[in-house]
Structure 1
Amino acid sequence: MHKNCMTGARNKRLAALTALLRRHSLTRQDELVTALREAGYEVTQATVSRDLDQLGAIKIRRGGETRYTLPDQLGAARSDDGRLRSLFAEWVRVAEPAANLVVLKTPPGSAHLVGVALDTAPPAAVVGTISGDDTLFIACRSPAEAAALAEEWQGWLRG
């Protein structure tokens, strides 16, 4: 098959996957494989896994349910402090400085949610983030900036 044909088919599959994620609460990759096959795409779980990665889809927990979501569905693309504050109030349990890092603790499966929001519109002091399952490391330019951010964010958690 010609490379452009493969790219076109892949783009159509990614668009179909995006539409599925927007319309349905899908919790497992095998559900996505089935839904894509029903839509006429012959895919494997490995293909779906790569596609989810390319789309930046992440699993989040909401109301006891874990499901796939796209970064723009998090509502974190705006850089206003109000959105980030409400995200922190809902998902962050602890903000603690450690040298030039700020360590955030979240409920299991939620660190990526906060990490995507920070990566989308990082505060000036933030150099980058690393998300685990329930822990997020935020690298700052200096220990003083890390301490100031941690203090500000911990204030958001208190109300």
Structure 2
Amino acid sequence: MSNKKYRFQIIRDLITDQEISNQDELLKKLIDLEISVTQATLSRDLRELKVSKVPNSSGQYIYRLTESNVPSTIVTHNEKVSLVFSQNIGVIKTKPGYANRIAFEIDNTYFKTILGTIAGDDTVLIIMKENCTREEVTEELRRIIPNINK
């Protein structure tokens, strides 16, 4: 993997997993991970990755990937969505007609824990990456399905 691709992946991971509010904070985290980058390069990277600042639950502005990289929530709170696991496979059960959209969003979103999906009408089969926990998969899926298994 090229340095730029690797750096982009690390930036995506940091922004997705943590609440980072400015470039200095992000730059320090990259340096802590032994990734050498200038402020100018980081600015270009953020622009190229389409990173925006959005308010968090307490009103502080933090970096997030834009909608082209991270989907908006696709399931409303009144819809029941369940997730069960067997080995490295997960099965999402939803309302009829929703599975294809959910699978599309999962496949077109960067998830550290999911290799891919297969969808039916009301069922999505998820293939987990090796060495991922079920809890990690569930937490990542909550980015697009906040009410999964609640």
Q: Which structure features the higher share of helix residues?
A: 1
Name the TM tier (shorter chain).
0.3 to 0.5
- Relative to the length of structure 1, the TM-score reads 0.41
Instruction: Answer with 1 or 2: which has the greater Rg.
Output: 1
